[in-house]
Amino acid sequence: MVPPGPPGRGGVMSVSRPTNRLAIVSLVAGIAGYAIPHPFIAGLVAIVTGHLARGQIRRTGEGGALLATIGLILGYVHLFLSVLLVGLIIIVALGFGAYIVSQGHNSG
């Protein structure tokens, strides 16, 4: 019978891959979009760094692919909501302007 080895030593050593830093930046920017007043900039940062991170992860084999993907999703959601909000503001402003102009023609 073989005696057991010293405590804490196993035959299998796990090797963890380093997490890509741009993937972390992408995720943080995507989450930060909920905290800053205008999420458009955070969305752009999350999108750009997420795509860069995914490319680096494919080339180097680093970890963080899920973080980059979540950052990309959040970034695109922020970008979409920002564009939607700006479009809504423009439509309301044009509608209000048209109402003011029509009221001016009715009273004169």
pLDDT tens-digit series, residues 63-92: 999 999 999 999 999 999 999 999 999 999
Residue 39, CA distances (Å) to 9, 50, 66, 80, 108 in order: 49, 16, 21, 10, 44
Write the DSSP string, 5-21: --TT--S----PPPBPH
CB 42 within 8 A of CB 36: yes
Residues 14, 65: Cα–Cα separation, whole Å: 19
pLDDT tens-digit series, residues 7-64: 655 556 667 889 999 999 999 999 999 888 778 999 999 999 999 999 999 999 999 9
